[in-house]
Amino acid sequence: MMNYIQTIRKLIGNEMLMTVGCGIIIEHENQILLQHRKDRDVWGIPGGVMEPGETFLETAVRETFEETGLIVEQLKLFGLYSGEEGFSEYPNGDKVFSVQIIFYSNCFSGELTHNTEESHEHRFFPRNNLPHLNSHQERFIQDWVNQMTLPVIK
């Protein structure tokens, strides 16, 4: 099944596309869940792009389940992120500008899946020992590290 992004990419090629990304900072025992991406050698939070008709919450929960196998509940708004850090160019040349809606939860169930289509593994990390982060997600992960007052709006 072709998704919205694939459909639009057929029409515009690699040109700039605006997207809405939704992700979840999942915390367990004062540690954050990060995924090691396959497309880039970086770590970031689970999440992805909103499909037409979805709510922010539906997108975050769906993407997190697809990527991790976890069912996340009791989401709270963590932050809204926009600005220059939202620009990205993928290895295939696709350009995007993404506005990010980030949630927080420490309530989840299910079995953590590791080797998925998009990631090598998932692991919980303490605030003082984070791996090489996805530069496009680093600001909200650092806001979690610094225990910013929520919601964060940047």
Sequence letter at residue 105: S
Q: The tokens of 129 are what?
A: 């020992």
Report CA dihedral (54, 75, 147, 32) to the nearest 10 degrees. Answer: -90
Q: Give ∠ CA 153-88-56 in degrees, rounded to 5.
A: 45
Active site (annotated) includes residue 121 = yes
138's CB contacts (< 8 A; 6+ apart) are: none
| 3 state SS of 144 | helix
Selecting among 85, 117, 121, 138, the annotated active-site residue is 121
Catalytic residue numbers, as ranges: 121
